[in-house]
Chains A and B, each alone.
Chain A
Amino acid sequence: IAGITQAPTSQILAAGRRMTLRCTQDMRHNAMYWYRQDLGLGLRLIHYSNTAGTTGKGEVPDGYSVSRANTDDFPLTLASAVPSQTSVYFCASSDWSGRSYNEQFFGPGTRLTVL
């Protein structure tokens, strides 16, 4: 693994189903993030984690949950998917100094379609 990876690359999901998007980084960054990108809206932060064992809510957290059991992995779960969650999801990681957020490294994205 080099950098940050996401799985699956794309997924079509029936509404009401549960789905977990996976994200793994090998850069030993302490901070990780999940964004969604919708046409015309740019990137919006869903959840973040400053260090393993801690998580926080971003701008659009409703309908999503995350966990950070270790440094490398940061899965995003949709407990009961709805069509409005159709989007491209990006995971990112960075060093966090406790004061500022440094350069974020982004994964290739997961394209999710909820029908």
Chain B
Amino acid sequence: LAKTTQPISMDSYEGQEVNITCSHNNIATNDYITWYQQFPSQGPRFIIQGYKTKVTNEVASLFIPADRKSSTLSLPRVSLSDTAVYYCLVSYTGTASKLTFGTGTRLQVML
């Protein structure tokens, strides 16, 4: 079972851009990468999904380099309410048995 690796924690200040990287080995060409946000005592919530190059939505961007061995979630101008744990999920094509969440990155946003 291929593993994903993320930094355990990151600190930032309000208004800054935050980039969280996830490493994922053995990822195949058509496998998707999805990021989730989780607040204490809640279930994870979808942020963004992609499988190559760059994807952007109203809250974040996802950068995936050509070799696809890693991906970077970019949060522009974070606020205190972005303090949460962020998870990277690699969806291996065709079988849910290999859905693998990373260990999560705890982001602390400060004033």
Contact = CB atoms under 8 A, between A and B. Distances in A.
Contact of A107 (B30, B43, B93, B101): B43
B94 A58 contact: no
Interface residues of A, number: 29
B96 to A, nearest CB: 4
Q: How large is the interface on B (under 10, 10 to 19, 20 to 34, 35 or more residues)?
A: 20 to 34
B103 A109 contact: no
A106 B46 CA distance: 9
A62 interface: no
Contacts, number: 68
B66 interface: no
A40 interface: yes
Nearest to B101: A43
A59 B102 CA distance: 13
A104 B44 CA distance: 9
